[in-house]
Amino acid sequence: MKKLEKFKFRFTNRFSVLLFSISLLSLSLFYSCSANIFSVDDDVKMGQELNQQISADQKQFPVLKGHQDVKDYVSGLGKYVLENSSAIQYKTIFPYKFEIIHDDSTINAFCIPGGYIYVYTGLIKFLDNEAALIGVIGHEIAHAERRHMTQRLTSYYGVSVILSLVLGGNPSQLGEIAANLFVGLGFLANSRADEEEADNYSIKYLTGTKYYPGAISFFFDKIREEQRKKGTTPSDLEGLLMTHPLPDDRIKNVNSKLKKINPKPKPTEGLFTEKYQQMKSKLP
C-alpha cells in the first residue's frame, strides 16, 4: 500500500511538472504570435474601469469642461470613421467614446481597451486640418480594434497571472491590473509594430470615405516640420514620441501603402481646413 501511495505521489508530481512545462512552452509560443489572453469582454471591463479612473483624476487628465460644440465635433469625427468603415470589427461591442483633455502643452492622443479615445487640446491646436485629426483618430481606433494594450499586458504579466486568470484563482486580478495601468503612463507606450499596424488600419478605415486615406501622413509631416524648425524634438512632442514612436520606417511604410492603393480623394482634397480652423478658434 505504501509503495502504491509513493507511486501515486511521484506520478502526480511528475504530471504536474510536465503540465507546467507544457504550459510554459505553450505560453512562449503564445507570446511570439502576439497572442492575447484577455477576452474582448475583458477589454470592455478594463476600459470601463480605466475610464472611471481617468474621469476622477482631473489633475492628470483634465477633461474639457463645457464647449459642447467642440466635443460634438471631435466625437462626430470618431463616429464618422466607425459608421463608414466595414473593417471595424468591434463597433457594436466596444462602447467607443471620444473625450477631449484640456492640456495645450501635450500634443498627443491615446486609447485604452474598449474604444475609449482621448484627444488633447494640444494636438487639436497643433494640426492644420480636419483630415489630419481624423487620420489620428483612425489610428487610435485601430489600437482599440487590434487590442494592442491587452496584448502588451499579456506579455508583461506572464505565466502566474495567466494561470490565476484561467483557473479563477484571483478574480480581482483585472481590477488590480486596471488600478496599476497608468502608473507612469508606461502602458500607453506602443511598440513600433503596433504603431505601424495602427497606421495601416487608419488608411484602411478612411479608404472610400470623403477624406484622403493617408491623412495620418499630415500628422507625420507636421512633426518633422517642427523638428526641422527647432533643430531638435520640441519638449511638447517628447511625450508623443515616447508613446507613439516615429522612426523613418513607419513613414516609408505609409508611403508604400498609399502608392499601392492610388488613394482618392487626392492629398490636396478632402482636408476641410476652413471648417477645422473655425472649430479650433472655439477652443479655450
CA trace torsion 220, 249, 192, 60 (10° rounding) = -20
Q: Which of 29-43, 200-214, 245-259 has the lowest mean pLDDT?
A: 29-43
Residues 6+ apart with CB under 8 A from 46: 38, 112, 113, 114, 150, 174, 177, 178, 181
The Cβ-side half-sphere exposure at 263, using a 13 Å CA radius, reads 26
Q: Which of 223, 187, 217 is nearest to 202 (CA)?
A: 217
**Residue 153 pLDDT more than 90?**
no
Q: Which residues contact 136 (CB under 8 A, 6 or more apart)?
A: 109, 119, 123, 127, 202, 216, 219
Mean pLDDT of 169-173: 59
pLDDT per position as a tens digit, 64-89: 999 999 999 999 999 999 999 999 99
User: DSSP 3-state assignment of 115?
Assistant: coil
Peptide bond into 265 cis (omega under 30): yes
In the 8-state DSSP scheme, what is residue 187?
A: G
Confidence of residue 229 (pLDDT cuts 50, 70, 90): confident
Q: Is 182 exposed, middle or buried (0-12, 13-18, 19+ CB in 10 A)?
A: middle
Q: Rounded to two decimals, what is the model's pTM?
A: 0.80
Q: Where are the domains of the chain?
A: 40-280
C-alpha distances out from residue 75 to 34, 37, 137, 200, Å: 30, 30, 10, 22
- The string of pLDDT tens digits covering residues 174-204 is 566 655 665 544 555 677 888 899 999 999 9
- The Cα 94–Cα 106 span in angstroms is 27
Summarize pLDDT for 10-64 with one digit per residue, the tens: 434 444 443 444 444 444 444 445 678 888 998 998 899 889 888 988 888 999 9
Backbone phi and psi for residue 28, each to the nearest 5 degrees, phi listed first: -65, -40
Least confident piece of the model among 185-199, 224-238, 247-261? 224-238
Give the gyration radius of the chain's Cα atoms: 22
